[in-house]
Structure 1
Amino acid sequence: MDDAPAVTAVVLAGGRARRFGADKLGAPLRGTTVLAHLLDTLPPAWPLVGVGEPRPAGRAVTWTREEPPGTGPLAALLAGAALVRTPVAAVVAGDMPDAAPALVGLVEALAAAAADVGAAVGVDDDGIPNPLLAAYRTPALAARAALPSAGVPARSLLEIPHLEVVVPGPAAHDVDTPADLAAVEREA
């Protein structure tokens, strides 16, 4: 029996955090940090690829960076996906501390989908699909990587044939401002 994992988590941990005004991923949350909380709650069997400057983590993370740095979330996601050796990449923004259960659900939805479906994308309470909270078949991301990505919006990933999965409540919330962080704390 093959014990190799079927899923790698790609965690986007770069960006400038302009609206937060400080390092939002390092902001205190529930006795740890926003990013550490997310990493600690992802399934332990999933290898982790972090995209951004290397940070301390409570588990093994392979760090990489988009080239050139700062060229946007799509370029970052594709840089991380280039290191994925599993059939599925579960992608999440590092500022989504409560997204781990949703990612598991997205992976399960993708596994149950037809083979021509390249992704399962989370949709928030407002009905907005988030390509940075999704499970992708690795070949679909490899095909997208062949196209230009610098400065291209991450929403272009929605061109991949996908299914949309409602991710209600806190699992779909990100931390962009101090008020968002306070709301995430309250939601716990």
Structure 2
Amino acid sequence: MARRATRAWATRRRIETLSTEHDGTVLCVRIGGLLLTGGESRRLGFAKHEVRVHGERLADRSARVLAHACDPVREVGPGVTDLVAVREDPPGSGPLAALHAGADALRIDGHDGPVILLAVDLPFVDERLLGWLAAHPASGSVVPRVAGAAQSVCARFAPSALMTASELVAAGVRSMHALLDEIEITYVDEADWGVACDARAFTDIDTPQDLAALEQQRRQ
């Protein structure tokens, strides 16, 4: 029984982070997760979520690592994982619309806390990086940067940012850059996220050349 209780506590710690209120009270905040699977794959030639890493589809791998760090978790896309799926409107309209749709679904289900947004085409993202993002002490959104470029589809968004995303989508905006321009963000560079991963973690798969490079790295 003690072992079971310890395991349950450890699981809770993976999906909660600490928040300090103005009066000094320390609260546990649950981190939701949104997996984006609805992006177009024109240059790759087939659905990115079907790419296999060590025999496992990216869709299944991404859902697994996200669920390790977050709860509740939803897929935003056509329903290619075992996660509960919702769709952005219209389908394929980009990550901002997907963030809005996913956050709205989580809110309806009772989660009004921060969320980690993860694109399905990041084969080197793992539990350690997502756990680090979930536990980051910043009160607002946390967005990694690689060589100065914001990695907005592997990032943590605060509740206020999710509301801003909804407002932008309602106004017809579709750009994630527009969201980043509007919200409070703690940008984290390699000196910060380097404790959890290397820059390869943010490498995505967009083209056959990217896929060939992935295969080559796996053989090394």
TM-score between both structures, scaled by the size of structure 1: 0.83
Quote how far apart the aligned CAs of 1:30 are. Answer: 1.0
Pick aligned residue for 1:153 from 155, 175, 199: 175
How much identity, in percent, do the aligned residues show?
Answer: 30
Higher helix share: 2
Following the alignment from structure 2 to structure 1, what is the Cα–Cα distance between the partners of residues 54 and 173? 34
Provide the residue aligned with 2:211 in structure 1.
181
Q: 2: CA distance between counterparts of 1:9 and 1:56?
A: 14
1:46 matched to 2:67: no
1:12-23 map, 5 Å: 12-23=36-47
Structure with the bigger RCO (C-alpha within 8 Å, sep 6+) is: 1
Is 1:141 the counterpart of 2:166? The answer is no
Pair 182,86 (structure 1): closer, same or farther in 2 beyond 3 Å: farther
Deviates more, 1:10-19 or 1:29-38: 29-38
Partner of 1:64: 86
- Supply the distance in 2 between the matched residues of 1:129 and 1:182 (Cα, whole angstroms): 25
Q: Please tell me the root mean square deviation across aligned C-alpha atoms, in Å.
A: 2.3
d(CA) in 2 for partners of 1:94, 1:47? 17
Q: Would the aligned equivalents of 1:88 and 1:137 in 2 still touch at CA under 8 Å?
A: yes
**148-157 or 82-91, which deviates more:** 148-157
Moved more, 42-51 or 26-35: 42-51
The counterpart of 1:106, out of the listed 113, 116, 133, is 133
Checking the alignment, whether the CA contact within 8 Å between 1:51 and 1:64 is kept in structure 2 is: yes
Report the Cα offset of residue 143 of structure 1.
3.0
Query: What is the CA distance between 1:10 and its match in structure 2?
Result: 0.5
Contact 2:164 2:179 in 1 (8 A): no
Separation (CA, whole Å) in 2 of partners of 1:182 and 1:8: 33
One-letter code aligned to 1:35:
A
TM-superposed CA distance for 1:186, in Å, is 4.0
Alignment check: 8 A CA contact 1:13 1:53 kept? yes
Larger Cα-atom Rg:
2
Shift of 1:136: 1.0
1:62 Cα deviation after fit: 1.6
Greater displacement, 93-102 / 15-24? 93-102
Q: TM-score, normalised by structure 2?
A: 0.72
CA distance in 2 between partners of 1:56 and 1:162 (Å): 30
Unaligned runs of 5+ in 2: 1-8, 17-29
Amino acid at match of 2:65: T
Shift in alpha-carbon separation, 1:56–1:93, aligned structure 2, 3 A: closer
Count of matched residue positions in the alignment of Structure 1 and Structure 2: 178
Point out the more displaced range, 63-72 or 175-184: 175-184
Letter in 1 for 2:105: L
